[in-house]
Structure 1
Amino acid sequence: MDIRPARTVAELLAAEALFDGPARADWSERFLASPGHLMLIAYVDGVPVGMVSGIEMVHPDKGTEMCLYELSVDEAHRRRGLGRALTEALATEAESRGCYGMWVGVDTDNEAALATYGAAGARDEGVFRMLGWPVTR
């Protein structure tokens, strides 16, 4: 397995089977051009089999932390440590960028994600509620 950062639109488009839906070239370009956005892709025999995306969040009185935005591993490659390896690689990258920590929001009933993040060293910091605003165009 080889984990490396995505640097081109072609790499993101090649990994779209790992996303919730089809990747768009224009959104991929914007992602890559956005400071603090990062996607690490895991390859086995040159084929993308997992990804993790992170976004640096900066605040004037807190500094910079990494938000683990999304993690995905191809179903045929699950339960082999790829999710943990991707999570650990993102944490290492966060540390190298000077982030003081990393966090992820997880549904409380998502046992696979909770086990993966726990295996990668995450600690439960308590329950929180996530609220959202739909934005229409």
Structure 2
Amino acid sequence: MDIRRARVVDELVAAEGLFDGPVREEWAVRFLGAPGHLMLIAYVDGVPAGMVSGVEMTHPDKGTEMCLYELSVDEGYRRRGIGRKLALALADEARARGCYGMWVGVDTDNQAALATYASAGARDEGVFAMRGWPLSDAP
């Protein structure tokens, strides 16, 4: 397995099966060009098998931390440690960028995700409630 940072839209399009929907070129360009945005793709025999995206967040009194925004492993490649390796690779990148920590929001009933993050060293920091504001019809 090889984990590489995505740098061009074609890499995201080739890994489109790992996302919830089709890659939109204008969004992909914006993501890849935004400072602090990061996409790592795991390849097995040259085939995209998993991905993790991260977003740096900086606050005046806290410094910079990494949000693990999304992790996905193709169904045919699950239970091989790819998700754990992707999470660890993102943590390594966050550390190299000077982030003081990394976090992820995860549904409390998503046992596969909870196990993956625990195996990568994430600790339970307690109950978390999430609220959202739909600002448009876009997904």
Other-structure match for 1:35: 35
2:3 equivalent in structure 1: 3
* Distance in 1 separating the partners of 2:15 and 2:39: 11
- The equivalent of 1:19 in structure 2 is 19
TM-score (norm 2): 0.97
> Mapping of 1:1-137 within 5 angstroms?
1-136=1-136
Question: How many Å separate the matches in 1 of 2:37 and 2:79?
Answer: 27
Q: Describe the SS at the equivalent of 2:39.
A: strand
Query: Hey, what's the Cα distance between the residues in 1 that align with 2:4 and 2:34?
Result: 18
Residue 4 of structure 1 aligns to a residue in which SS? strand
Identity in percent: 77
- The gaps in structure 2 that reach 5 residues or longer are none
Q: Structure 1: which 5+ runs fail to align? A: none
Cα root mean square deviation, aligned: 0.7
CA distance in 1, matches of 2:113, 2:18: 15
Deviation of 1:95 after TM superposition, in Å, equals: 0.1
Q: Which amino acid aligns with 2:99?
A: C
Q: For residue 136 of structure 1, report the CA deviation from its aligned partner.
A: 1.9
Q: Give the secondary-structure state (helix, strand or coil) at the position aligned to 1:67.
A: strand
Q: Distance in 2 between matches of 1:69 and 1:136?
A: 20
SS at match of 1:23: coil
TM-score (norm 1): 0.99
For residues 98 and 16 of structure 1, what CA distance do their matches in structure 2 show?
30
Equivalent residues, number: 137
SS in structure 2 at match of 1:31: helix
Q: 1: CA distance between counterparts of 2:78 and 2:135? A: 34
